[in-house]
Structure 1
């Protein structure tokens, strides 16, 4: 059961988003969420002194968050003089057909007045959202984001392949599964290129891997031959390639249909690769801005990560971490390592958790209000 949006997509949550388009509006946005129940927002440092493709990517991310089907309506909150103008972002979001209001701190005469105006608009929007009735929907309407962070030696043996099983299940039911983390697919790109639906997609696989490696080389680092995360090393991983071979198992076994840019909505059903960095919060934000209603996040070291608008189901790769961080982690795949369950059995358990989450069960990150947000910046601030 979910919420049918004007553009036809289905939401599994019904948030009113207070969307600050500039870093200096984020505190005012937070005050509105404190005043009005049913609203969510996020802190960030973007929205001004950005140019070119970096500007475009940030704009696309803002608009994508507002368009995500888990959002009923949006209050776009700007300062007034920033590069990413609130009205432009609002106009883009309005194309989805959902209600959108604009509040400007400068135009309204200051922070306190802007907070009051934003809160008034939010109260009306939340009340309207509360009247929406849920309708049945099929798995084919879901976009599932997948990611791994704080990986260990168990990741490629337990949680990641279990998520790969889920990816196949979603694809077989007509839905979409997003594979991200380009950085953490270096060394495994040939396996995904072999599964590309055509030569054009296969060529694109190698192009995005080369571009990511070249970014690191320009900074004097060859990341293919090392592992940039101390936590991964402590977890038993020796190289980035070893980590990538485990991370790639989240993609299951179905054909790779397309490769989209950061924060872009997939145009095809099935397995889709989104070009993102390995940074947990930035890749999560990109997938949610791309339309993912729910995200599966595996970890061997532990993480509290969550999203302001999409439920994030955390899955541990080993039982020790699950027991230590039970307040943050939703499911334990360490039973595979212990021989108590198979990969397929854990995959079916994750599918059941997805079903329950769509029906309204709250994830640990939602309960703890873990509203993380970060945009992959691909240019300097001027």
Structure 2
């Protein structure tokens, strides 16, 4: 037990990070490989493989700017080296302005064309990132209350053990985070389908309830406009093989991650979070894109429950993976941080498992590295609305 405290880094914008990364951030897919080459030459730097940033609709441009600027502003990031190509829709100067609206942390910008090509750009990017890493290492760790924690929740590769045990255990943990004054994000809009009335009844007021119902209805409508149905791809073949039969059944298990707290806010994908307590974010059901959206909103860590197991991790924040499937815990031991299969086997109660998971969250918030961090996973995917323009 850490007594409701976490150890990390106070940023100049006032926010608190539990990691101290230097980020090399490409503005578009055309700058991504150059950014990767530089990141591979800088110990301590992380890299986000941006596969968007160009040929965007106006709606997708708005989302991309929100997410990329939010990632740079995430409190786990000490500073950012921004890399543009020079001709993309997300111009380096445009993204730089959006980042500066959200944070005053260290920020440098390089445009490949202006440097004379990738070789010169890589050298300059690496020099700037190396200096940032030296400066980041000088920042002293300090303590903060868990009330400053924004904890994301995710589930993927779900099977019946997810809804029966893993997600309720996450819910117990999340209730404790909220009791400490912290913030919890419930994500994955498609996995709220069928639970609308349950969740609407948990909203703090009618306005938040209306926003929640509109968010879920809009998600379905986006599919209908192009002649599709979200249920065509969800549940996934893995979900079905594990015993989940409908999206509504999956959703009823999914929402247990949120615990029993009142919903205080509903936000768009990647948008900043203003309220404490339980918040619902409009994210896709694709796990990696959902995690990126929560990171862009300022989450310092994510709890990820899984039935079949997943290697997923993030360069921006620690992803704590748990399962209630004993077979998965054994087969995916390299990737699993917390095994709560004892709940289904009658070896411990849900409350005890939830308390132990909360202890692990505290440990991660005090520097303990997750399996995904140890293995170096830097998965990236970003939600989009339209085809490439």
Structure 1 residue ranges without an equivalent (≥5): none
1:149 to 156, 161, 166: 156
User: 2:58 aligned with 1:52, yes or no?
Assistant: yes
Cα distance in structure 1, aligned partners of 2:355 and 2:223: 38
Is 1:332 paired with 2:339?
yes
* TM-score w.r.t. length of structure 2: 0.96
- Asked if 1:323 corresponds to 2:330, the answer is yes
2:94 alignment partner in structure 1: 88
- Does 1:125 find its partner at 2:132? yes
**Contact map agreement 1:145 1:296 (CA 8 A) in 2:** yes
Q: How does 1:106-121 map to 2 (within 5 A)?
A: 106-121=113-128
Paired with 1:31 and 1:226, the residues of 2 have a C-alpha distance of: 35
Match of 1:292 among 269, 288, 299: 299
Which residue pairs with 2:172 in the alignment?
A: 165
Deviates more, 1:371-380 or 1:125-134: 371-380
Aligned length: 382
Shift of 1:168: 0.9
Secondary structure class of the residue paired with 2:256: helix
Secondary structure at the residue paired with 2:144?
Answer: coil
* Cα distance in 2 between the residues matched to 1:112 and 1:225: 45
Question: Mapping of 1:1-382 within 5 angstroms?
Answer: 1-95=7-101, 96-223=103-230, 227-382=234-389
Q: 1:309 and 1:188, CA in 2 relative to 1: closer, same or farther beyond 3 A?
A: same
Does the CA contact (< 8 Å) of 1:196 and 1:257 recur in 2? yes
Alpha-carbon distance in structure 1 between the residues aligned to 2:288 and 2:91: 24
- In 1, the alpha carbon distance for the partners of 2:360 and 2:322 equals 11
Instruction: State the distance in 2 between where 1:354 and 1:227 align.
Output: 29
Kept in 2, the 8 Å contact 1:19–1:42? The answer is yes
Contact 2:235/2:244, CA 8 A, preserved across alignment:
no
| Counterpart secondary structure, 1:220 | coil
Moved more, 256-265 or 213-222: 213-222
Contiguous gaps of at least 5 residues in structure 2: 1-6
* TM-score normalised by structure 1 residue count: 0.98
Give the drift of 1:224: 5.2
